[in-house]
Structure formats: structure tokens, C-alpha cells
Amino acid sequence: MPSLSNAAVRDIETVIHPYTNLDGFRSSGPMIIERGEGIHVWDADGRKYIEGMAGLWCTSLGYSEQELIDAATEQMKQLPFTHIFGGKSHERAADAAERLKAIAPHKASKVLFCGSGSEANDQQMKLVWYYNNALGRPKKKKFISRIRGYHGVTVASASLTGLPNNHRDFDLPIAGVLHTDCPHYYRYAEVGETEEEFSTRLAANLEKMILEEDPDTVAAFIAEPIMGAGGVLIPPEGYFPKIQAVLNKYDIYFIADEVITGFGRTGNMFGSQTFGIKPDSISVAKALSSAYVPIAAVTVGEDMYQAMIDESKKIGTFGHGFTYTAHPVAAAVAAKTLEIYEKRNIVGHVRSVAPRFEARMAALNEHPLVGQARAKGLLGAVELVAEKSSKTNFDVKAGVGAALQRACEANGLILRAIGDTVAFCPPLIVKEADIDDIFDRATKALDETEAFVTKEGLRSAI
């Protein structure tokens, strides 16, 4: 076992790390990142990496973007903090809200800010309950999410999340949260079923669930346009139009969780536009500020806003909000980020380089370890299998996905293993040459992982 630096030991003894095996971490220690520039970061030992995950799906404009640094610095000098409780405000809140409203993929009336995507989806649940109480529909409160969907880690948003490890021993999900089918055609389609037929079946299953629960009790459906932490799962043909038709039939509010897919990632400003979704509301975070400062938001339509006014009038206040709601530094950085997306035509840039990204990803389907390589825009993943034709998985304890992540890091590329699926999500500023560099390194790492699998006899153990 390598000796740990003083910084690593200090970290181990003071910091709890999310999504980490806390026992194993005490031996392995952290990778300490010291600085970043463009699409690259450097660790404490001076090793340079391509940040192929844009941090956590979020650092869209890369590292050390001077305009964002200046926006934060200027705001810190002018007004580092004020709150917006009780009618107080500041101009940066309106700047960020106006820009978000102008590009939202639905007719947004107002914006409710918060600090993270988890908080945004927690707010969504509260607002839908508030809305239905205002409309005199006290039974219409249930939420439907999807198996393998990811919507956060608060008590409410982790309940919406459809991943077992976000529920196990946390006593989740809470009552009133349901999970319908995961739209992963590669894994869950029946033999001979086309993508359209698969989508039709999943929409029928959703309708059956709604009818069994009673449509008068089902309030909302929440979905990521592309499922991120569930494995970068791209919806099959016809999926969202068919799902939306069911929701419309039973007056069910549609929340698009755009935390990962928002702000150009899929080749449109929002994933909703890429997949023909017509949401009632969206949740955004991450790339809203290129992750430079924590900020998130929920958009609110006019009907929802009028209901909020009615409840506030009845109760005497809108009893919700955070100390850091529309924090002036975060709002200033968000407004500048949205300005940069527009003036630099980031969506156009993504469209220009995405074909190279998608083609290089598709080529990985030929690798013996890869069951499916999938991509849309600048978001993709490889799903690793022990046997391609049968789609047989490796034993989870073999840690093949983690081995590929380590091999990528040894080759100067940071990706993220989600079980035996490894995700790619580079900053939106990547050029075609950068994309080739990413995939050249990933291919070398795949070859090294294949050699590891063979040496350890991991296929023969299946």
C-alpha cells in the first residue's frame, strides 16, 4: 500500500466523502486536485488529467474561466451577501431569473432559486403539494419517478431517486413515491421488441400504475431527459411522446430534471428540446453556474404561481426558502454563465463537435469488453459486459468498471464508473482534437482492463 501524504491523512481524519466506500477509503486515501485550467486538472503530485466528467457533469465552461472569476470577484466586492426574505432583493437575482426564463423549454412565469439539484427537486415536490392544496385537490399528491432515475439525496429527492443504494438503510423512499419502468432498451427490451414497441409497453405500464393508484391521487411525474447517474441511459424511440400522452390524459404535472442535460449538453439548450418533452417545470443546477458557485433553480408556470399567491394570501406568507436562495455571488455567476452560453454560441459549438464524440463512442462497441457504447451530444457511456452476445454481466465484486476508471486515471483521463458502466461528460468547450485525445486514452485503458480481466480469469468465473 502506498504511503499517504500529510494532506491525504488530514483529509481521511476530517472529511466524509459522498459516494465512497468509507472503509476502503481509509486505506486508499483521496486524489487531491489542486488546480484546473480549460479541460484539464492537476493533482497534488503534479499529474495532469483531462477532466472527462466535467467534475460531476457540471463544469461546462471548463476551469479558470476568467469572466466567471471576475463576476464573482466584482460581486464579492460590491455585495457579498444579502437575503431575499420578506421582500428584500438584489439586482443579480433578477438578472439570473430573466436569463433563465428567456431560454426555458416551457412558458415559465417565475424562478425559485436554491443551492443544489437535490434541493431543486425537493422544492418541486413541496410546490406540487402546495399547488394541489390551493386547487382543492388534497388527495392528488403521489409522485412517479423511474427505476434508475437520479434526482438527489435529500429525504424527498432521494426518495424520487430510483437507485437502491440511495434507499438502503436510510429508511427510504418515503410514502407516496412510486417508481415505474427504466427505459433502458439494451437491458430491458423483450426479444424481438423494437424501440417503439418497447416505448409503447412502458407507457402502457405507466398508465396501468396510474389507474391502479387512482389518477385523482397521482400528482406528478419526474424524469431526466437522459438518465445520468443511473448509467447515461438514452430514451428509446418514441418514449417521451408516449409517456407525455399518458400524463396529459390524467392531468399529471411533468417535471423535467435538467440538472445534467441542461445548457447545451445534448445539442440543444435543454434535453427537453432534444427529446420532444413539453414539461410543466424544470429543475436546473450544475451548469447553471458552470459549477463555479453552488446555485440551482426551479421554474414555475403561471398557473403554479397564481396558486402560490392564493396560498400565501390565505396563510399570510409563502413559508419556504433558504438563507442562500438567490445568493448574490451565485446569482451573478449564474447570470454571467448564461450570458456566455449565448454570446459564445455554446449550443452551436456542441452541435459542431458532437458528431465526432458520438462517432468515437460508437466505435467502442467493437471492443471485447463493451456491451453497449451510447452517446448523445457530449454525454455518453460504455457498459461493460463479460460476454457480448448474451449481455452477461461481470460479478459485481470483480469491480471491472472501477478497474477501467483506475486505468483511465493512469492514462491521464478522469471518467466515472457507475458500477460497470463508465460515463463520459467532458466540458462543453472541448475541441475535436480534445475528443480524439479522450477516446485514445479511454481505448488504451479499455485494452489494459481487458488484459486485467483475462489475467484474473473474470470471465471464467461467470
Q: How far apart are CA 253 and CA 21, in angstroms?
A: 37
Residue type, 368: P
CB-based contacts of 440, cutoff 8 Å, min separation 6: none
- φ and ψ of 130, to 5 deg: -60, -45
Cell reading at 183: 427505459
pLDDT score for 3: 78
Query: Across the beta sheet with 413-414, what order do the strands follow?
Result: 33-37, 40-43, 48-51, 413-414
Domain boundaries, the chain: 31-64+346-456, 67-343
Q: Is 149 helix (H, G, I), strand (E, B) or coil?
A: coil
Residues 6+ apart with CB under 8 A from 302: 107, 109
| Helix, strand or coil, per DSSP, at residue 412 | coil
The C-alpha atoms of residue 321 and residue 327 are separated, in whole angstroms, by 12
Q: Which fold has domain 67-343?
A: Aspartate Aminotransferase; domain 2 (3.40.640)
Q: Could you tell me which residues come within 8 angstroms of residue 231 by beta carbon, excluding any fewer than 6 positions away?
A: 148, 184, 381, 383, 418, 419, 421, 423
Residue 50 cell numbers, joined: 483531462
Residues 448, 208: Cα–Cα separation, whole Å:
47
Do you find a cis peptide bond into 173, omega within 30 degrees of 0?
yes
Assess contact for 378 and 426: CB atoms under 8 A.
Answer: yes
- Encode pLDDT of 380-405 as tens digits: 999 999 999 999 999 999 999 999 99
- C-alpha 300/C-alpha 110 separation (Å) is 5
pLDDT at 1 (0 to 100): 44
With a CB cutoff of 8 Å and minimum separation 6, the contacts of 28 are none
Instruction: Give the residues of the chain that fall short of pLDDT 70.
Output: 1-2, 461-462
Q: What pLDDT does residue 460 have?
A: 77
Residues 315/267, Cβ–Cβ less than 8 Å? no
Q: How many CB atoms lie within 10 A of CB 307?
A: 20
Please write down the HEC assignment for all residues of 268-334: CCCHHHHCCCCCCEEEECHHHHCCCCCCEEEEECHHHHHHHHHHHHHHCCCCCCCCCCCCHHHHHHH
CA distance 355 to 432: 9
DSSP annotation of 392: B
CA neighbor of 389 nearest in space, from 186, 183, 182:
186
Q: Are 319 and 127 in contact (CB under 8 A)?
A: no
The C-alpha atoms of residue 234 and residue 331 are separated, in whole angstroms, by: 31
pLDDT, one tens digit per residue, over 21-67 is 999 999 899 999 999 999 999 999 999 999 999 999 999 999 999 99
* Count of helix runs (H) and strand runs (E) in the chain: 16, 15
Class of domain 31-64+346-456: alpha beta
Q: Work out whether strand 253-257 and strand 281-284 pair parallel, antiparallel, or are unpaired.
A: parallel
32 vs 340: CA distance, rounded Å: 29
Compute the Cα dihedral for 59, 60, 66, 71 and give only its sign: negative
| Contact (Cβ atoms closer than 8 angstroms) between residue 259 and residue 283 | yes
In this structure, what are the phi and psi dihedrals at residue 227, rounded to the nearest 5 degrees?
A: -70, 120
